[in-house]
Amino acid sequence: MKKINPGNLLISTPNILSDYYFKRSIVLITEISDKEVIGLIMNKQLDYNLKDIDSSVNEKKIKVFSGGPVNQDNLFFIHNEPEIIKNSKFCCDNLFFGGNYEELIKMINEKVFDWKNKVKFFSGYSGWTIEQLNEEINEGSWIIDTNKNTNVFENNVKNLWKNKIKKSNPEFKIWLNAPNDPQDN
């Protein structure tokens, strides 16, 4: 099995179309320890913005994504500005996890921080034990994408899964235009 590293993407295969959270998802791996793997679903935009859940936010266009089924009552974020967003945790390359949220919102409100393509917010996160994720990969539920060319801050993610799965395996082509819920077919 291919080794997973922070910064890798997990592309869900059609093998898990019945999984509510992970069907047609792209998960950015943010942290790996001896026991667990943590990531954020990159392509599941929620129906509300950051201002809808935090009234202290002035900007109305900051989108929130479903990071996964774990801890959905909490907000998480990734960014590429560790010098500006203090107390963040290094993930990989120029990607950081968390940091001083209150200071970040203050800078966004004061318009001294241009948040576009620099920060992305998530409700919840995805987590597995090492053994659980390895088993899911071996069963063919996930494809590991090590390509560093994906813009993880992109908000226009409607076709991200289709584009990634199409490049990963030609045998999945039949699933590209299938309905989100196979019972709708």
The CATH number that applies at residue 17 is 3.40.1740.10
- Over the stretch 17-31, which tens digit does the pLDDT of each residue have? 778 889 999 999 999
Residue 68 confidence (pLDDT):
96
Residue 1 confidence (pLDDT):
47
Position with higher pLDDT, 180 vs 80: 80
Residue in 7, 43, 48, 50 with CA at minimum distance from that of residue 22: 43
**Domain assignment of residue 4, yes or no:** no
- Over the stretch 43-54, which tens digit does the pLDDT of each residue have? 999 999 999 999
Euclidean distance between the first and final Cα of the chain, in Å? 34
Position with higher pLDDT, 158 vs 45: 45
Position with higher pLDDT, 107 vs 147: 107
- Cα separation, 182 vs 179, whole angstroms: 6
Q: Is the pLDDT of residue 171 over 90?
A: no
Average pLDDT of span 45-74: 95
Percent of the chain with pLDDT over 70: 90
In terms of residue numbers, what domain contains 61? Answer: 9-184
- Over the stretch 132-145, which tens digit does the pLDDT of each residue have? 999 999 999 999 99
pTM: 0.89
- Cα separation, 120 vs 22, whole angstroms: 19
**Domain assignment of residue 102, yes or no:** yes
Q: Is the pLDDT of residue 32 over 90?
A: yes
**Domain assignment of residue 72, yes or no:** yes
Q: Is the pLDDT of residue 3 over 80?
A: yes
Q: How many domains does the chain have?
A: 1
Average pLDDT, the chain: 89
Residue 175 confidence (pLDDT):
58
Query: Strand, coil or helix: what is 44?
Result: coil
**Domain assignment of residue 136, yes or no:** yes
**Domain assignment of residue 23, yes or no:** yes
- Cα separation, 7 vs 30, whole angstroms: 6
Determine which of 36-50, 103-117, 146-160 has the lowest per-residue pLDDT on average: 146-160
Position with higher pLDDT, 8 vs 14: 8
**Domain assignment of residue 44, yes or no:** yes
**Domain assignment of residue 2, yes or no:** no
**Domain assignment of residue 49, yes or no:** yes
